[in-house]
Amino acid sequence: MTCRAEHMPGFTTHTRRGEIRHRFSYGVDFVLIDPEAPVVRPTLFSRNRFNLAAVHDRDHGGPLKAGRGAIWAREVLAAHGLANRALQLRLLTQPRFLGYVFNPVSFWLAMDGDALIAVIAEVSTPFGDRHSYLCHSLDFAPIGKDTRIAAPKMLHVSPFQEVKGSYEFTFDIRSDRIAIRILHRNGAEGVVASLIGPRVPLTNAGLLRASLRRPLGALRTIFLIYWQALRLKLKGAEYRARPTPPGTEVT
């Protein structure tokens, strides 16, 4: 069985709340794939081998740069009560561009037919850390656009934010578009992050347009992270040293 890969040319927006306010929005290119099926087209996209754009199993599912792909995601779902459900997995992520990759967040979508019943939000940092958040409703009821899923913040993501408070996730996964919102609450402080874009077939033309519109792919992402960090520092935001990361992989 082969995979019909999809392209999500969208936008990510981050808004910082509190005493020091900050906001930015950038265009991003995600792909949505079946991580357990081979991909035969388009020719400029590959699984587990070099190409203009590619997704490698070792980039996802488990420790940063030592992932196990969909096997890990299945194990996490099974450990939390989904061992006997015939689920379909989809991975929403930024692909490697000419071999380079960095993903601040990727999403494993667990589908029961057309219903989204769980999401593993896989968060990675420039400090070399990774932690994932298993998001689901009570008794794994379908997740709709109005479903709010809470989880404690566990990972040091930004040196200008404390590892305190909680996240609230919302997922609006439709056949033609995706909208994901993550709200970090920490008293009067916090950050709202969103990812929104259409779902379209992944094509060679689309990949070429993306490489011209947003050159260097994930390398551009890491540059923009440091650029926004500099802007925050110049605004007077307090820098916090990286604490010891959590001892567990999943919250």
Count helices and strands (H / E) in the chain.
3, 14
Q: Residue 1 above 60 pLDDT?
A: no
Q: How many residues does the structure list for the chain?
A: 251
pLDDT score, position 68: 96
Distances (CA, A) of 140 to 5, 77, 82, 117, 202: 26, 11, 9, 6, 30
pLDDT score, position 154: 95
Q: Residue 167 above 80 pLDDT?
A: yes
pLDDT score, position 161: 85
Mean pLDDT to the nearest integer, 194-204: 97
Mean pLDDT to the nearest integer, 180-207: 94
pLDDT score, position 3: 58
On whether the CB atoms of residues 155 and 163 are closer than 8 A, the answer is yes
16 φ/ψ sector (left φ>0, alpha ψ -120 to 50, else beta): beta
Q: Which residues of 156-185 are buried (b: 16+ CB within 10 A; e: fewer)?
A: bbbbbbebebebbbbbbbeeeebebbbbbb
pLDDT in tens, 102-152: 899 999 999 999 999 999 999 999 888 999 999 999 999 999 999 999 999
> Which pTM does this prediction carry?
0.94
pLDDT score, position 181: 98
pLDDT in tens, 15-67: 998 888 889 899 999 999 999 998 778 999 999 999 999 999 999 999 988 99
pLDDT in tens, 61-100: 999 889 999 999 999 999 999 988 889 999 999 999 999 8
End-to-end CA, the chain:
32
Structure tokens at 24: 């930015």
The structure tokens 């057309």 sit at: 114
Structure tokens at 114: 């057309």
Structure tokens at 222: 């890491």
pLDDT score, position 120: 98
Q: Residue 232: enclosing H or E segment and its boundaries?
A: helix 218-235
Distances (CA, A) of 84 to 179, 221, 226: 29, 38, 43
pLDDT score, position 221: 81
69 φ/ψ sector (left φ>0, alpha ψ -120 to 50, else beta): left
Q: Kindly state the DSSP code that residue 174 receives in the 8-state scheme.
A: -
pLDDT score, position 199: 97
Q: Residue 160 above 70 pLDDT?
A: yes
Mean pLDDT to the nearest integer, 147-158: 94
pLDDT band at 2 (very low <50, low <70, confident <90, very high): low
